[in-house]
Structure 1
Amino acid sequence: MPEKSKDLVLIGDSAFAEVAHEYFEAYTDYRVVAFTVEQAYMTREVFRGLPVVPLEALHETHPPATHHVHVAVVYTQLNRLRARLVETARARGYPLASFISPQAFIAPSANIGEHCFIFESNVVQSFVSVGRNVVLWSGNHIGHHSHIADNVFVSSHVVISGLCRVGANSFLGVNSALADRTVLAEDCWVGPAVTLSGSTNAGQMFRGPETMASRVDARRFFRIRAEASDRL
């Protein structure tokens, strides 16, 4: 565990904030000292043994001169909530912290913007540019010369092939893929397991076919008797 030299406040107290707390503590020189949420959404005063303070009063309890901030919020409102909270923190003078997993591969020529969260097993290839306030969850492939704009959320095991462009505020679901030179316009939602090979229009939503349950019961198919199943 790296020696701690900087104090960090996480905006949010959801599941992502809990994950971010563990990652920052385990892999960085940041010491997480508090969580903060907007007063209207306060539901508790302590989370993971740390204080939860109103965002409106954060400058009094944890001033920007001595604290960094990371907004640990997912893709709510097509990433607008996370973007708004980032701008709120920036306007109040808080330095913005990023997390890049030591188990991620970032090519020397790749460029990563401020306030990003990049999980383990991401491959960010040569000459890729990643904008500000981008989340790359675990296990993604970002192909060479591709560009990801600001406020994008890429879930897990997504393939963005070479020379692609991903527009601002977009979301890519698990196991989705963009073929070479695909341009995904801003504000697009790409659902799980969807593959795109052509350019899109702004604000489009792409959903793959849902897998339907078989009419045959799995226990019957595998000839499992009811009493045997009950013993498991």
Structure 2
Amino acid sequence: MEKRKLVIVGASAFAEIAREYFDVDTHYQVVAFAVEASYLTRNELHGLPVVAFEQLDALYPPQEHDVFVAAVYTQLNRLRTRLAGEAKGKGYRLASYVSPRAFVWRNVKLGEHVFIFEDNTVQPFVEIGDNVVLWSGNHIGHHSKLRDNLFVSSHVVISGFCDIGENSFLGVNAAIANNVTIGRDNWVGPGVTLMKNTEPDTLFKAAHAEPAKVPATRFFKVGQ
């Protein structure tokens, strides 16, 4: 099968990773990266050109190229959402990636412009909206709904019948109990467990472990 050409918007670590996955696992061939002109500090990344996003349609016509926006959770996902919308407004089709090493049940509903890493488990009757990133190793429980513009980091557990509001971020090892609705614009820190519904625009900070008074070498009798 002839590969379709893809431009990745972004030049961060996520952009580098996305290039790897699209090139190896999909029918896409990444041909360039693009960033907004005010952030254009280099003209090449891994042997591919880096161009100004504002000139993208002139250099890489939408009739021949698709776009993926490799931005993380900046401004509660607003940056990724805005750039994806602008690319679509230029006439580009937005690409998605679903790892062949992820488990996605047959009746899962996927929106456009999603990126699902390896080792995700997405159970039956799940609905995933547009512009959603699932980093590696998450569990998305049956009948749950992940709304638009989300970033779910790694090893997050979303139990059954949950509803995750737009623009939210779920940190590493966060856990959401059954039948919980997370309001839009929520930031859920690493390791946070939520057992009941949340209000919109809420930040749940992670608890930082306090060091013990005894040094580690003394506790483990090092050097004795």
TM class by smaller structure: over 0.9
Distance (whole Å) between structure 1 residues aligned to residue 31 and residue 156 of structure 2: 33
Structure 1 segments unaligned to the other structure (5+ residues): 227-232
Q: CA deviation at 1:213?
A: 1.8
Distance (whole Å) between structure 2 residues aligned to residue 28 and residue 5 of structure 1: 8
**1:137 aligns to what?**
135
Aligned residues of 1:11 and 1:71 also touching (Cα < 8 A): yes
Q: CA deviation at 1:4?
A: 5.0
Are 1:174 and 2:172 counterparts? yes
Map 1:84-123 to 2 at 5 A. Answer: 84-123=82-121
Aligned residues of 1:70 and 1:98 also touching (Cα < 8 A): yes
Range moving further from structure 2, 140-149 or 204-213: 204-213
Distance (whole Å) between structure 1 residues aligned to residue 171 and residue 25 of structure 2: 26
Relative to the length of structure 2, the TM-score reads 0.97
Size of the aligned set, in residue pairs, is 224
Q: CA deviation at 1:143?
A: 0.6
1:197 alignment partner, one of 180, 195, 198: 195
Q: CA deviation at 1:43?
A: 1.1
**Aligned-residue identity in percent:** 54
Q: CA deviation at 1:166?
A: 0.2
Aligned residues of 1:191 and 1:207 also touching (Cα < 8 A): yes
Structure 2 segments unaligned to the other structure (5+ residues): none
Structure 1 counterpart of 2:130, which letter?
R
Relative to the length of structure 1, the TM-score reads 0.94
CA deviations 1:142-197 (Å, max 9, x no partner) are 11110000000000000100000000000000000110000001000000111111
SS at match of 1:133: coil
2:22 alignment partner, one of 21, 24, 34: 24
